[in-house]
């Protein structure tokens, strides 16, 4: 068997970002779906503006003439090609990267991503109304899941596979924290006793469904579970695919494989960052994290994930200049045009 060809930096970068953009599409669909689910009567604008705030997109949203209402936020994320954190721009960027990766990715991966991109170009304002929005979110999720299945079954397991997985896992962990954050921002208004508990459990059950984790959670949940148990599951479980801890565990393995199998010594700083993330998640009980401020904690995890991506990009890519690289920024990163 011929010796494995070294992976070019531009291919490693393209795979990393393609995975992030595709994963972002599914997670945006989940965030939009859960926001619609919790659209409280009389608080619709607040519910949708929370989605903009959680993604730190206020400046971009209002600069583009956005108004804090459901219609404008939906258009911003699902129709506006000029929004770098929205679905159209993410799919366009994923397809652009895939085109440059044709020598590496399978024909099936390219064909599906091309058709998925073309299908989403046909989204209209009518698709954002009522039950149509839920159907659109389902189409987006199923399109990404099909891509994931095709990739799993056809993509060659060389260095490129590990960079693809690192991008997907960083994006997934980041978006799980945002899903948690958007719900904690808009938790039920203060009502009394049993009524509050029933409403809370209904809301958190919907959060779990939005994360595709409801049935997995019920397998391990204690009787009479509460919000603390849901937060713990999504942050610290090591068996659920979208839990932050499992994503971190898998990232550590991927980085270790790049180091041990391929001799890539630039993984040291990234592995240290992974250790810091693990320590943050396991250093305090979840009840204490909530008591001290869940939003601030999730903000910190998002910043650490941005810095982890920066460690990987600085070590292995040609020119690491994402649109959000400053530690104080918590928005999901995007690839620069130069990259």
The winner for highest mean pLDDT among 19-33, 51-65, 182-196 is 19-33
195 vs 221 pLDDT, higher one = 221
pTM: 0.91
216 vs 188 pLDDT, higher one = 216
Residues 6+ apart with CB under 8 A from 26: 140, 141, 144, 145
The whole-angstrom separation of Cα 117 and Cα 24 is 14
**Domain map of the chain by residue range?**
9-316
> Rounded to 5, what percent of the chain is helix, strand, coil?
70, 0, 30
| 80-123: pLDDT as tens digits | 999 999 999 999 999 999 999 999 999 999 999 999 999 999 99
**Tell me, what's the pLDDT at 50?**
83
Report the b/e string of 171-184 with b at 16+ CB within 10 A.
bbbbbbbbbbbbbb
320 confidence band (pLDDT: 50, 70, 90): confident
The winner for highest mean pLDDT among 55-69, 298-312, 325-339 is 298-312
**Tell me, what's the pLDDT at 328?**
46
65 confidence band (pLDDT: 50, 70, 90): confident
The whole-angstrom separation of Cα 7 and Cα 248 is 24
321 vs 139 pLDDT, higher one = 139
224 confidence band (pLDDT: 50, 70, 90): confident
Contact 125/74 with Cβ under 8 angstroms? no
> What's the mean pLDDT when you consider all of the chain?
88
Contact 28/90 with Cβ under 8 angstroms? yes
């Amino acid at each position: 068997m011929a010796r494995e060809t070294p992976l070019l930096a531009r291919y490693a970068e393209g795979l990393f970002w393609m995975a992030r953009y595709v994963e972002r599409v599914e997670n945006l669909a989940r965030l939009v779906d859960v926001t619609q689910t919790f659209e409280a009567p009389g608080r619709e604008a607040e519910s949708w503006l929370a989605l903009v705030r959680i993604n730190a997109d206020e400046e971009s949203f209002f600069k583009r003439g956005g108004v804090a209402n459901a219609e404008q936020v939906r258009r911003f994320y699902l129709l506006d090609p000029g929004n770098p954190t929205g679905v159209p721009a993410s799919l366009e960027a994923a397809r652009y990267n895939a085109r440059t990766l044709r020598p590496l990715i399978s024909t099936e991966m390219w064909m599906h991503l091309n058709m998925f991109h073309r299908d989403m170009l046909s989204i209209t304002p009518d698709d954002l109304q009522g039950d149509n929005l839920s159907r659109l979110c389902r189409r987006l999720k199923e399109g990404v899941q099909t891509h994931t299945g095709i990739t799993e079954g056809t993509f060659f397991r060389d260095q490129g596979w590990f960079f693809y997985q690192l991008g997907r896992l960083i994006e997934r962990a980041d978006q799980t924290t945002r899903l948690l954050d958007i719900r904690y921002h808009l938790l039920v208004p203060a009502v009394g006793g049993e009524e509050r508990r029933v409403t809370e459990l209904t809301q958190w059950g919907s959060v779990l469904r939005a994360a595709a984790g409801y049935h997995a959670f019920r397998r391990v949940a204690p009787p009479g579970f509460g919000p603390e148990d849901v937060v713990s599951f999504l942050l610290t479980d090591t068996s659920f695919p979208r839990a932050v801890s499992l994503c971190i565990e898998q990232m550590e393995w991927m980085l270790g494989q790049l180091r041990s199998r391929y001799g890539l010594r630039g993984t040291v700083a990234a592995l240290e960052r992974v250790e810091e993330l693990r320590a943050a998640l396991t250093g305090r009980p979840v009840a204490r994290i909530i008591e001290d401020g869940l939003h601030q904690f999730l903000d910190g995890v998002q910043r650490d994930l941005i810095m982890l991506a920066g460690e990987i990009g600085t070590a292995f890519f040609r020119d690491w200049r994402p649109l959000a690289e400053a530690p104080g920024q918590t928005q999901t990163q995007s690839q620069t045009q130069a990259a």
